[in-house]
Amino acid sequence: MAAKLHGAIAAGNPSTAEAGLEMLRQGGNIFDAVVAAVLAACVVEPTLTSLGGGGFLLAHTANQQNILFDFFTQTPRQRRSPDQVSFYPVEVDFGITTQEFHIGLGSVAVPGTVKGMTQVHQQLGRLPFALVAEPAIQLAKTGFTVGTFQAYCFRILEPILLACPEMRQIVAPHGRLLQPGDWLRMPALADTLMQFVEEGDRLFYVGELAQQLVRDSQAQGGYLTLDDLAHYQVIERSPLLTNYRGHTLVTNPPPSSGGTLIAFALKLLSGIDLSSVTFGSTTHLTLLAEVMRQTNLARADGYDARLYQPGVAEHFLADTHCQPYADPLKAIANKWGSTTHISGIDSDGNAASVTTSNGEGSAYTIPGTGVMMNNMLGEADLHPSGFSAWTENVRISSMMAPTLVLRHGKPELVLGSGGSNRIRTAILQVISNLIDFHMPVRDAVASPRVHWENGVFNLEPGLSLPPLEQAEFPFDQQWMAWEQQNMFFGGVHAVQQTEPGVFTGAGDLRRNGAIAVLDP
């Protein structure tokens, strides 16, 4: 029998992290742990992720293999006439800004989470799947207390949740949304998870649930067919590797664009000596804004429609392409997505960074299952060329960027984030906080963030510039000062190995994050 491992897990909910840690106590490894945590997250983080969604898991194994499991959503194999499709907009209000998403069965892409968790567990786990799924089953069956962050998510996603009769019974059983301290149970989801244990992933891709989903999709304005589900496959990819100030970063490769864009931003920043720059200073904020702006300009300059293609990342990151976007930084130096993330590392040298999402949910739940389907065809961030421009039967590009930082080939830091278009800027800032400003991981995650996009510079409290210095900024933009930290700026959950066998980490409080550590 293999020796029991110790390690650490950071996640978006204490119950999610605890589900993972229990697998280490039971003799499993970090891959058992993160699969258990993902299943638990589908219960206790139901507005952020679902068995009906998709994601990515970046694995570093004890024998130093790096594998990216791509189980993100896929476009359908055929279209329908627009007048046959249920697809309509809703606005999500973050408080100081809003973001439009589209829902309905016409927003549902081919899901991958169930296939992904099955494949990762079969290849890298060592515990029986029934044991791995047990924490999620018990959470769904017995229930849990709604926290402040969960209640906040229910409120901002109210138009979607209440549009779905089955979900309305779960989150508003007495005619009002559940509030902090209320008890939430999902017995139908518990039954579904038990069916999953008994039947495997065929339940969702060729079995009873697949057929129900397809019948409803064809009758109520969706695209999905049995062929879409039966032909879905998890793709194993070679991760994208880059270097930042002597550290090796391993992240999500194309067809997702998030990892490539983080690598590009870090490459721009690497040309600047930050040793004498103070965190939050005018120079620091200006550099961050310019890095974000130049990265967006570089992406828009002919790469938006091509960044997912094989080989394009290398051209995008080449010195000859980066240099014109790096030059403005030198001149300066001289003078909120519903997604959740889990990071884990164990004493055997295994590490896993997994980001999963259901979008905001499509407002359709497979009847009697507790499983709301994704709305990945209705996320504007995933379809920059327009909702009608998607190509049939391809992986949808994503900003998700599960990331590892290696030292001497071994995992030192595991991190990732939710947050739609803010994923890449959140991860960029945490990495820079750790490496450039030498912050402990908790401070690196907790420190205030900024996000620049489309001429708007968003700043969390603790970061500001006087009006005179705003006027001297090198480019025009609207300033948006947030009154408190918010999930808009992502949710970076990170674990770190500070020395062999010594683990720490941070769960991002912007998204109710939690850290669980099992010491020797």
Residues with a known catalytic role: 339
How far is the first Cα of the chain from the last one, in angstroms, to the nearest whole number?
A: 18
* Helix, strand, or coil (residue 210): helix
Q: What is the distance between the alpha carbons of residues 248 and 270, in angstroms, rounded to a whole number?
A: 13
DSSP 389: G
Q: Which two tokens stand for residue 308?
A: 């997912």
Tell me the three-class secondary structure of 67-101, residue by residue: EEEEECCECCCCCCCHHHCCCEEEEEECCCCEEEE
Task: Please report which residue ranges of 45-164 form alpha helices under DSSP H.
Answer: 113-124, 129-142, 148-156, 158-161
Q: What is the distance between the alpha carbons of residues 297 and 294, in angstroms, rounded to a whole number?
A: 5
* Helix, strand, or coil (residue 170): helix
DSSP 2: P
Q: What is the distance between the alpha carbons of residues 515 and 217, in angstroms, rounded to a whole number?
A: 39
- Residue 175, classified by CB atoms within 10 Å of its CB into exposed (0-12), middle (13-18) or buried (19+), is exposed
DSSP string, 323-370: HHHHHHHHHHHH-----EEEEEEETTS-EEEEEEEBTB--S-EETTTT
Integer angstrom CA distances of residue 206 from 201, 210, 279, 352, 365: 9, 5, 53, 29, 18
Bridge partner list, 456? 453, 478
DSSP 318: S
Residues 6+ apart with CB under 8 A from 431: 244, 249, 262, 266, 403, 405, 415
* Helix, strand, or coil (residue 229): helix
Integer angstrom CA distances of residue 491 from 127, 340, 341, 392: 29, 7, 8, 31
